[in-house]
Chains A and B, each alone.
Chain A
């Protein structure tokens, strides 16, 4: 569950903002990004108190700032993948890339092969 990461990203995005109508747009952008972040982690966070608090909190804050659910987020647009090697999200955990996750321990893992064909 990565809810703490979502929390800290939201806090960091809103740290310089003051509650007021002139900065509501910035709050909305940050809240939509926060909401997007929680949705991504929803499955892993099922039953996590911090997660459910965050989801309710976001709803309240969006109402408070009159934010629409659709609109820009602070998350920079991800570039389209150009090859298979680039298809893992830039913010995907390093452990989702076997070779990268191993680099510290074993730079060159041994691979094996199995095949089945014919009759």
Chain B
């Protein structure tokens, strides 16, 4: 999956299996990623677990879990709020589009989480205060949102060079031109959301990834605090990107 970290690093990672995105004193988020096509190390998210930890007079510990084709509008215990404490409604699960889009508002930690299912895979976006993001101890482990993926998990992909008439990957139904045209319909700016979209279409041939990139950018627009930094043009650890022309 493509990862945009707290520091606006943009990476594409293999991270097959279960990986923690966030692990702090208030919140734990873990994703499970599975291979999308045989013969490629590219993976996408099929499961997401969020744990809101017990917090003072506000909320009991609550677990939210989503899987492909199961995007519930409730925590695993069936409730939609933070339990029985006075401030329980400072944690709410909201269904935006049944089975496709939920939001979790954790007002007591100033946090908003957006989970979507697009095609067979899930997307995740979060907005939280820096103070909350940085509230972890040394013994709390890896957090992809904080420092990105380990170096050996990063995919330093480059878009394939145009090959007239042929598709770019064995599993792709798209030529590069067709993928570019498809992604441009939704993502007019040649930033890394656009390029990720093209990469995903060429890798999988699954047009749902166009929507994943589109909504990921919509979520950034809604959640990111700096409107001047919405677009990203250069990947982190981007040593040899094949298409190094300026973004715009």
Contacts and interface: CB of A to CB of B under 8 A. Distances in A.
Nearest to B31: A116
Nearest to B216: A117
A98 B132 CA distance: 10
A40 interface: yes
Given A88-B107, A114-B21, A98 B129 contact: yes
Interface stretch (A14-22, A51-59, A89-97): A89-97
Q: Which of A81, A111, A113, A119 has the most CB of B within 10 A?
A: A119
A75 B42 CA distance: 57
Interface in B33-58: 36, 42-45, 56-58
B3 interface: yes
A118 interface: yes
A97 B204 CA distance: 43
A115 interface: yes
Given A98-B110, A119-B1, A113 B223 contact: yes
B124 A84 contact: no
Interface string B133-147: 100000000001100
Given A89-B89, A96-B57, A116 B107 contact: no
Given A97-B90, A115-B125, A43 B60 contact: yes
> Taking chain A's interface residues, is the majority helix, strand, or loop, or is none over half, making it mixed?
loop
Contacts of B219: 115
Interface in A32-61: 40-44
A95 B213 contact: no
Contacts of B225: 110-113
B63 interface: no
A69 interface: no
B56 to A, nearest CB: 6
Contacts of A119: 1, 36, 42-44, 121, 200, 203-204, 209
Interface in B133-177: 133, 144-145
